[in-house]
Homo-oligomer: A and B are copies of this chain.
């Protein structure tokens, strides 16, 4: 059992706490496309990612969405256990963007550890502060950066994540990532194509001039 290498402050736990985790953690695999956690309807627990990729996105009451951040190997998904913190007053959804393998720490166990262990409480503090910084970055982007720059950044980030200049992603999906509408994305992509930055074809977008796309950001 490799739980100890994925739980962030394992060595700072007491033997009893380590045993509690070992007893209660469950290994799970979510195929690409699975919704792992859905807003306040769910409280899956704390997720410790062994491999794969999760997308955490904010969902508005009327169903719109915007990507907050991605999680990778050795990251911890906190908002899937948001029911344990009463001051988290917003809904996030967690989706597997690749086949993902993770440990699940049940909410009650996580809550107990937070209440008992100073290292766990302080780890959660730093994690919250770090995601808070992501949210502030997002606020800066959507308030003061024009949509062409944001779209250029998004395409380059996707390209880095997929390690490919050809992105298999729909305009609808991009709109959901960026909190925008499909038509707005399509219009800007067509403009990018007319400027020879990308080449569009059915179901994919090819970055043809990475350098200029990078300069556009």
- Kindly state whether residue A22 has any CB partner on chain B within 8 Å: no
Which of A82-90, A98-106, A157-165, A184-192 lies on the face that meets chain B? A82-90
> Of B115, B137, B143, B179, which is within 8 A of A118 by CB?
B115
Copies in the complex: 2
A residues 116-145 in Cβ contact with B at 8 Å: 116-118, 121-122, 124-133, 135-140, 142-144
Q: Is the interface of A mostly helix, strand, loop or mixed?
A: helix
Q: Which residues of B contact A136 (CB under 8 A)?
A: 58, 90, 135
- Kindly state whether residue A60 has any CB partner on chain B within 8 Å: yes
How far, in angstroms, from A86 to B132 measured CA to CA in the complex?
Answer: 12
Determine how close the nearest CB of chain B comes to the CB of A50; give it in whole angstroms: 23
Once A90-B137, A133-B87, A139-B142 are accepted as A-B contacts, the answer to whether A125 and B125 lie under 8 Å apart by CB is yes
